[in-house]
Structure 1
Amino acid sequence: MATKYLRIPRLRRVYVWELPVRFYHWLNALAIVALIVTGFFISNPLALLSNKDASHQYTMGWFRFIHFAAAYIFFFNFLFRLYWGFVGNKYANWRQFIPTSKRFFREIWVVFKIDILMLKKNGQQQEHLSIGHNAMAGFIYFLTFIAFLVQCLTGFGLYAGMSTWWLPKLFAWVPALLGGDILTRQIHHWSMWFFILFVVIHVYLVFYHDYVEGRGEMSSMGGGWKFIEEDVFEKNLHQTPNPEKTDEKK
C-alpha cells in the first residue's frame, strides 16, 4: 500500500511586527470598537424614563465623552502610524500598502484567485506568500487609511462647532465644503459601516491564513514573530528595501 508523506518546509523565525506596530494595532482596534458602539447610541439616543432630575442622569453624556475621547486616541494613533510608515522596518513601510510596481498588481491578482475564487493552479499558491502583508492585504489597508482620514475629517468637522479647543476648530471647513452638517454626518455614518465590514473580513482572513499556511499569523500580532518558509524568506529578502532591518532566527 502506498504511503503519502507530508512535505514540511524548513521554516525561519522572522521578527515581522515591531512593538510600535503591535501597539498601534490593538489600540486602534479598541478605539474603533468604542467609536462604533458609542456612535450607534449617539445616532439613535436612548429614551430613558426616570423620575430623577435630568442633571443626575448623564448616560448619553458618557456615551458622547467616550466617543470623543476614543476619537482623539484614534486620530493621534493614526498620525503615529503614518510616521512609522517612514521610520519602521520594511514590513511597516508605506511601500507595503501603495501599488508601485507591476509585481504588486500581479500579486494582488494571484491572491484574489486564491483567497476569493479558491483557485490553486500552476503552483501559484506559493507566489502570493509574503513575509509581512501580501499585496492585496496591503492595498486594502491603504484604502482603510483613506477611510481613516475621511472619518477624522468628518468627525472633527462635526465636533468643531461645539468644541472650545483649537484642534477640532481646524476642521470647521469640512461641513462647509460638504454642504452642511447633515451630509457630513451621513458620510461619517456610512464610513462606520465600512469599518464594520472590514473588521468581519479581516478577522476571517486572519484565521483562514493561519489555518491554511500555519505561519503563526494570529500570534504574530502578539509577539511579533512569524514562521516563514526558507525559500520565501530568501525571495522576499531581495525584493523589498532595507533588508538589514530584518531580525530573523532559524
Structure 2
Amino acid sequence: MRQGAMKPYYLFSPWTRIFHWVMVICTFILFFTGLYIGNPFFLGTQGMEPTFAVNNVLSMEVIRYIHFIAGYVLVISFIPRIYGFIINPGDRLLPKPWTKLYWTGIIDTKMHYMFMRSKHRPYLRNSLARSGYLAVYLMFLIEAITGFAMYYMVDPNRFLAKIFGPYTNWLVNEYMVHMIHHYVAWFIILFVIVHVYMAIRADFTEKGGEVSAMFSGIKYMEEEPDDLGDIIDTKKSKAK
C-alpha cells in the first residue's frame, strides 16, 4: 500500500546493473580462491593437498587459473560500468565533497545510523554510501595493480609485465605487494558485509526498493530527494 503512493526514480542503467552482479560473482570467486592460494589447507606432515585436489580436480594450478580468469573478467566488467557512467546520470552518484549537501548528508546519515534520529533526509544515494562506493572502487584498483604485479612476476617478458612489474619495487618488495593484496581483499569483504546489511536494512525501514533497484534500476521515495539535481536539472523542471 505504501509503495503505491511512492514516486519512482530511475537510477541505474542496465550497464551498471550488469557490472554490479558480475562484480559480486567475481569478488566471491576471487576471495575464496585467493584464500586457497594463500593457504591451500594442507593436511598431515607430508604436504599432501586435500582429497578433492586429486587428479588435478581443484588443484592449486586449477584454482590459480580460476582466480586469474575471475580477475580478468572483473577488470573487463568495468567497461560497461564506465559506459553507464557516461550515458546515465543515475550511474554517477559518487561523492561531491566540495558541496555543502555532501557534508550535511554525512552528519545526517551518521546520526540516523547511530539511532540519534528516527530517519534521515531523503537521498537517492546518501553521502556515506557514495563515499563507500568510491572507496571500494579504489580498493579494486589496488587489488588489480597488486594482483597483476604478482601475476606477471612469473613471466617478466610479457607486455603487461612491463606495466605492472615496477609496482613490486615501488611497493618495497614482493612480500609487501602480497600483504597489501591480502589485507585489501579482507577490507573489500568487510565492505560487502556492511553493504548487504545496510541495503536490506534500508529496504525494511524505508521500503524504497534498495535491493530491487539493482534488478529494476528504480528506487521509490515518498519525498523529493535532496540530491535530485544529480539526475535531473531541478531548475528547468520547476520552470516548466
Q: Would you call these one fold, judging by a TM-score over 0.5?
A: yes
1:124-143 counterparts in 2 under 5 A?
Answer: 125-127=119-121, 129-131=122-124, 133-143=125-135
Gaps of 5+ in 1: 1-5, 245-250
Alpha-carbon distance in structure 1 between the residues aligned to 2:227 and 2:169: 47
Q: TM-score by structure 2 length?
A: 0.84
Q: Contact 2:108 / 2:120 at 8 angstroms: preserved in 1?
A: no
Alignment of 1:173 with 2:173, yes or no, is no
Give the match's secondary structure for 1:13: strand
- Which residue number in structure 1 is paired with residue 27 of structure 2? 32
Gaps of 5+ in 2: 235-240
Which has the larger displacement, 145-154 or 24-33? 145-154
Give the match's secondary structure for 2:21: helix
Bigger relative contact order, structure 1 or 2 (CA pairs below 8 A, ≥6 apart): 1
Alpha-carbon distance in structure 1 between the residues aligned to 2:151 and 2:135: 24
Alpha-carbon distance in structure 2 between the residues aligned to 1:37 and 1:236: 37
- After superposition, the Cα gap between the structure-2 partners of 1:76 and 1:98, relative to the gap in structure 1 and judged at 3 Å, is farther
Superposed displacement of residue 168, structure 1:
4.6
Match of 1:20 among 8, 15, 20: 15
CA-to-aligned-CA distance 1:10-69 (integer Å, 9 cap, x gap): 31122221100100000001010000000000001243748x9x9943611111001000
Give the match's secondary structure for 1:136: helix
- Which residue number in structure 2 is paired with residue 3 of structure 1? none
- Which residue number in structure 2 is paired with residue 10 of structure 1? 5
Superposed displacement of residue 166, structure 1:
2.1
Superposition CA RMSD, Å: 2.7
Which has the larger displacement, 39-48 or 180-189? 39-48
Counting matched residue pairs gives 226
Q: Structure 1 stretches (4+) deviating beyond 6 angstroms?
A: 6-9
Superposed displacement of residue 161, structure 1:
1.3
Identity of aligned residues (%): 27
CA-to-aligned-CA distance 1:90-143 (integer Å, 9 cap, x gap): 2211x533423121111011101101x11116xxx342x212x21110011111
- Which residue number in structure 2 is paired with residue 44 of structure 1? 39
Alpha-carbon distance in structure 2 between the residues aligned to 1:21 and 1:88: 11
- After superposition, the Cα gap between the structure-2 partners of 1:83 and 1:171, relative to the gap in structure 1 and judged at 3 Å, is farther
Q: Contact 2:56 / 2:62 at 8 angstroms: preserved in 1?
A: no
- After superposition, the Cα gap between the structure-2 partners of 1:55 and 1:24, relative to the gap in structure 1 and judged at 3 Å, is same
